[in-house]
Structure 1
């Protein structure tokens, strides 16, 4: 199959490339963002009956203050986020493989009502249902790279992995109609697929928002 281009920020990019290598797939990296911590004021844990995290970056960037929420049940979107929580000392972790809205529905079914959501500055909207969700921004994804650098990586025949709708929008902004017919896209979700725009050689969204599903789809798409 063709080579892959990983556009997600570190340390996620490195993890994706290691998974690709384990599958015998050659991958390159050109992160479109860098993850930076944001100063935040941790609210009192007593005001919440659950913790929600939709990205492993929130675990990494929350800092030492994260420890004060270890007594709360934690709900994670994706196994990577759940693994990061376990490494941070959490032992009551529920994992969802869809999106934040699906995890919110699970929390409501479990009787949770007052939820602290540790998140990034830019994130997908969540349908809270009956939950009262208090967001706390603990990191920001800052743009890096440019059209010239990306063009050097987007050689005809390559397949780009798009891990968020925001990355899809930036990829669309940095490319043009001359480049796209030679490039295939594997997106982490339908929203990320839509954000990439049109004109690509091939484009599809993974069945689940995981590296494993994206890499399996990339293999099928490009073989």
Structure 2
């Protein structure tokens, strides 16, 4: 069986590994980044009519100030982020099924316009449409030191999961060209795939930027 290497930060990497092992995949976690909280000044909730989180890291690392916005309708880019909001005490939570642009369209369709987006320092491009989005960084992704264990784990035929363009760039910087020809990339988006550079045995991105679809592609490579 091919080895599956999950390079996203914890705790999300652990969730992906659990899903992968449930599918019978040989999953191993080698994070390239670690989330770190940031100091931020919370604006008054009365200035907004909706709250947006595009990562469960934002919920976990925003700190006590997140409680100021519990009265607002809250939107999570996916089920995991929405679940984190619910567990944090938000009563009115909507889960998206696509990317940031898709959840922004849902927020607009629900009649909201002034949106507070609590995010990381790096955010994927998002089509705001009619929304007035105020984005505040509440966490950052710190690069971890290059880990020789990743190169050792990347045995010929291994599949590497890339969940962001920045992760693709970090992988491209660490993985020698000579080793790439035997490795397969499954990236969350075409942009993330392009960031990995060239020379890989294969590269694929799902139609929808979801963990489940990435794992489905990985599973097909193992058949």
Q: Same fold (TM over 0.5)?
A: yes
Structure 2 partner of 1:59? 59
Question: Any conservation in 2 of the 1:147–1:175 contact (CA below 8 Å)?
Answer: no
Q: 1:147 to 1:199 in 2, by over 3 A?
A: farther
Match of 1:80 in 2: 80
- Alignment of 1:196 onto 2:204: no
Give distance in 1, aligned partners of 2:118 and 2:141: 14
- Check conservation: 2:6, 2:30, Cα contact below 8 A: yes
Residue of structure 2 equivalent to 1:42:
42
Relative to the length of structure 1, the TM-score reads 0.95
State the 1:208 CA deviation: 2.4
Instruction: Give, in angstroms, the shift of residue 203 of structure 1.
Output: 1.0
Stretches of structure 1 that go unaligned for 5 or more consecutive residues are: none
- Match runs of 1:104-123 below 5 Å: 104-123=104-123
Measure the CA separation in 1 of the matches of 2:82 and 2:133. Answer: 19
Find out whether 1:100 has 2:100 as its counterpart: yes
The question of whether the paired residues in 2 share the 8 Å contact of 1:165 and 1:191 is answered with yes
Aligned to 2:177: 177
Matching of residue 187 in structure 1 with residue 187 in structure 2: yes
Which residue number in structure 2 is paired with residue 211 of structure 1?
211
Q: Distance in 1 between matches of 2:145 and 2:156?
A: 19
> 2:98 touches 2:210 (CA, 8 Å); kept in 1?
no
- Aligned partners of 1:162 and 1:192 also within 8 Å: yes
Structure 2 segments unaligned to the other structure (5+ residues): none
CA distance in 2, matches of 1:191, 1:103: 19
The answer (yes or no) to whether the contact 2:3–2:155 under 8 Å persists in 1 is no
d(CA) in 2 for partners of 1:125 and 1:109? 19
Tell whether the 8 Å contact from 1:56 to 1:84 is kept in structure 2 after alignment. Answer: yes
Q: Compute the displacement of 1:28 (Å).
A: 0.9
- Could you tell me how far apart the structure 1 residues matched to 2:92 and 2:172 are? 39
Counterpart Cα distance in 2 of 1:177 and 1:27: 23
Count of aligned pairs between the two proteins? 223
TM-score, normalised on structure 2? 0.95
